[in-house]
Amino acid sequence: MSDFPPIIVVSGGRGASGEQLVRTALAQFSNGDAVPVEIMGGVKTEAQLREAVTRAEQTGGTLVHTLVDAELRERMIVLARAHNVSAIDLIGALMLRLTHVLGSEPIGQPGLYRQIREAYFRRIEAIEFTVDHDDGRKPHELGLAEIVLVGVSRVGKTPLSIYLGTRGWKVANVPLVRGIDPPPELFQIDPRRVVGLTIDPENLRAYRSRRQRKLGVDSYTSYTDPRALYEEVHYAEQICRRAGFPLVDITERSIEENADEVIAHVTRRLAEPPPEAR
């Protein structure tokens, strides 16, 4: 139990901005981390305001509020004064100044900034997830992916995954290598989220040959052998067909076209009942 009374962040939204500012201030003190910070989010009624004031009164705590609703903010100030509770208004003075500068009244909607930026935050989260689950990494987390791409090496799984990530999809990709069993988790997740990528073997050979030259490898290997490539592509396609994964042929198509087809497959299949329910 702390020796210090709590700081109670009161907000009409999640209280994230108020909490961040409080913790930023506390970090300037050597013993600041000993001060408990409590969050009371989603405050929309006077009863909730009274609850916060009572909590501060009983604990000797300090109220810090970021209430964008003008009536609630004013009521909080009045209640805090009546109960002799310290209350710091983090947003009121700024809102008043902006009203004067902009010549318009604030909307007064809690969490509006977060809502406006939601798409941006989702894209960042999706890209981070996609990079973290590239090339078969963390197979135990495949179930967290919204889309899983499978296919042979150099079929374009990584660039397509990253592109889908920029569009807000959490993507994982798993290489299919002839002679090596895919991770068992691939067949334990919802198959409606899995899409196989395939390619004409000759095109694949061109991509792999280019890759070898970049790496300074000129010797002939099975990596670019036409017959081995055909068998490798055929092997991957067989796995997808057996598992019920749709195939997208990426041969000489743009990444945008491939992404649209992958999304179409996943969204259409998710609209259908899962296999076990059919």
Query: 73-101 pLDDT, tens per residue?
Result: 889 999 999 999 999 999 888 878 888 88
Q: What is the pTM of this model?
A: 0.61
What one-letter code names the amino acid at 225?
Answer: D
110/234 Cα distance (integer angstroms): 55
How much is the pLDDT for 224?
81
How confident is the model over 112-127, as pLDDT tens digits?
A: 555 556 777 788 899 9
What class, spelled out in words, does domain 7-116 have in CATH? Answer: alpha beta
Question: How many C-alpha atoms does 228 have within 13 Å on its Cβ side?
Answer: 12
| Interval 148-158 mean pLDDT | 95
How many helices (DSSP H) and strands (DSSP E) are in the chain? 10, 8
**Residue 160 banded pLDDT, cuts 50, 70, 90:** very high
How confident is the model over 54-75, as pLDDT tens digits?
A: 999 999 999 999 998 888 988 9
Q: Which of 102-106, 175-179, 268-272 has the highest mean pLDDT?
A: 175-179
How much is the pLDDT for 213?
78
Which sequence spans correspond to the domains of the chain?
Answer: 7-116, 119-277
Tell how strand 7-10 and strand 62-65 pair up.
parallel
How much is the pLDDT for 259?
97
Tell me how far CA of residue 165 lies from CA of 114, 116, 158, 186, in angstroms. Answer: 20, 19, 10, 20
| Interval 134-159 mean pLDDT | 96
CATH architecture observed for domain 119-277 = 3-Layer(aba) Sandwich (3.40)
How much is the pLDDT for 47?
95
